[in-house]
Structure 1
Amino acid sequence: MVRVIMGVKGTGKTKQMIELINSAVHSENGNVVCIEKGPKLTYDIHYKIRLVESSQYDMSTFDFMRGFISGLYAGNYDITHIFIDSLTKIVGVEPTDPSVENFLDWLNSFAEKNNLKFTVTISGDADLASEGVKKYF
């Protein structure tokens, strides 16, 4: 399952994400991971959440992200939920780029095969999102 939270800067995406992450600590039966750009969530999320700061790994393409997420899961099958904050900023693409839709479709397929959940934030106008992205709202 993939859930996308999309909105322009200042619409409360990160606040909503923090609430979801912290509630996942109590509701998930496995490990929870959060991938973020910059260390902005360090003191806002529960200490049991595995926080991954993306710039330490030079995540500049969706192919890299696919490999990283696959490796993350291969190293820990107890992961049940992965949060990705500011997906398009991590990879460096526009929110309307067709590769975003392709990546979300891959995430959904990966989630179904491995019984995972993904919650992703994207900074951009939700009205401009493609139908392929909107299906994950």
Structure 2
Amino acid sequence: MICVFCGEKGSGKTKRLINLANEKALINKGNLVYIDDDSRLNFELKNKIRFIPTEEFDLKDYKSFYAFLCGILSEDYDIDTVFIDGLGNIVDEGIHNAAPLFYYLEKISERKDVDFYINISEKENSLPEFVKKYIA
């Protein structure tokens, strides 16, 4: 499953994603991963959640980001939920170039039984159709 939260910067998407991650940490049997573009949120997440700041990894395009995700999932087969906060801050490409990423996320979600929750700082009406079908 892929679930996208969208809205302008400052609309509460990150707070909503953090709350969801912390709630899932209490009930999930599998492992959870929270990916963000910097490390400022590290202490707001429950200890059970693996926090990964991407600032050290030089992820410039969606292809490298997908490879990054595959590396995380291949390292730990017990991951069942991945939170991606601020996709546009992690990857330098615009959201309109992300169709291949969403295609592959859908495939890996089905194959590995992993849920993806993604924050995108865009108004819903400006998102491409391939993203709109995942909006929560």
TM-score by length of 2: 0.94
Gaps of 5+ in 1: none
Partner of 1:2: 2
Structure 1 residue matching 2:47: 3-state secondary structure: coil
* 1:47 aligned onto 2:47: yes
Q: Is the 8 A contact 1:88 1:100 kept in 2?
A: no
Partner of 1:82: 82
1:1-137 equivalence runs, <5 A: 1-95=1-95, 97=96, 99-137=97-135
Task: Tell me the CA shift for residue 40 of structure 1.
Answer: 2.2
Q: Which runs of 4+ in 1 moved over 3 A?
A: none
Task: Tell me the CA shift for residue 30 of structure 1.
Answer: 0.7
Task: Tell me the CA shift for residue 94 of structure 1.
Answer: 2.5
Paired AA for residue 106 in structure 1: Y
Task: Give the distance between the partners of 1:122 and 1:29, measured in 2 at CA.
Answer: 27
Task: Tell me the CA shift for residue 28 of structure 1.
Answer: 1.4
Q: After superposition, what is the alpha-carbon deviation per residue over 1:53-93, rounded to whole angstroms, capped at 9, x for unaligned?
A: 00111111111111111111111101010100001110012
Task: Give the distance between the partners of 2:90 and 2:115, measured in 1 at CA.
Answer: 19
Count of equivalent residues: 135
Seq. identity, %: 31
Q: Is the 8 A contact 1:33 1:79 kept in 2?
A: yes
CA-atom RMSD, angstroms?
1.0
Q: Is the 8 A contact 1:37 1:55 kept in 2?
A: yes
Task: Tell me the CA shift for residue 101 of structure 1.
Answer: 2.7
Paired AA for residue 125 in structure 2: D
Gaps of 5+ in 2: none
